[in-house]
Structure 1
Amino acid sequence: MATLKQALSLAKKIETSKIESVLFGIIKQLQKEIIQKNQDQLGKGKDVYQKTIGLYSKATEAITAHDYFAGKRKDIKKAGTPYTAQDTGDFFKGFYLEVQGDAFKIFSKAPKTHEILDTWGTEAIFGLSDKDLREIVINGILPFLLKNIRNTLQI
């Protein structure tokens, strides 16, 4: 165990830039989990505020039923059920996470992404609810960060 003088000397090694670098690395390690949580949220038809994104119309049900019976799709979107962002699978396959300064951004490289955003009228589909974000911080980020600080302080 370090003396108080040694601990103070070691504490000087904890710099903002180092913590930022560690956090960046942790978020990159957790990106699959973060993206999966966002996709799960969308699969339930919810945005980052846990509000229903939108509901399928009778026209959508008729179109998807026609395509289903023609063998062009695997499901029928029922009128009145929430949007799920699951049609061809390209939207979810295109998801990526990008760290920008003190925040991270989730987006999709899928060609129809901007069409989806325009149709749904919100960008609040990308990101995590407070509950999911808190879970990532408590179970993913915090343990790694504390371990790094303890190693630096040699405690």
Structure 2
Amino acid sequence: MSTPEDTTVHAAGCVLWRRAQGTGEPQLCLVHRPKYDDWSHPKGKLKRGEDPLAGALREVAEETGYTAVPGPGLPTVRYLVDGRPKEVRYWAAEAVSGDFAPNDEVDRIVWLPAAAARTRLTQPRDRDLLDALPLALRRDEDGPHDG
């Protein structure tokens, strides 16, 4: 007899960020997936036995072309896809090098301040992850700051 855990789709991803050249302001990377015509964080299914953090960083590299340094863990997101439970583990991760090239899964990426990223994200569950980011990465949503 199978358990619910047997049917759960396990995935991982990152809320990818970088500092904007010139201003140093944080920008978040969103990916556009033509198959779903949506904007989301880079993520994907884990390979059998794959460590979730390693899978998250692999998916970032595959979907965005960027190498990332992981930061704090973010909330795990759970939802149903075609009646099957899906569980996606997330981390904040800083993009350190790379260049985007369109591929079969992702045809475009954008780098946006947190407030603009929140507006662009298609799924509310993806917006909720922004609330868990360290304050320094979402400070543009809080209004002007000194220093």
Q: TM-score, normalised by structure 1?
A: 0.22
Rg larger in structure: 1
Greater strand share, 1 or 2? 2
Greater helix share, 1 or 2? 1
Q: TM-score, normalised by structure 2?
A: 0.23
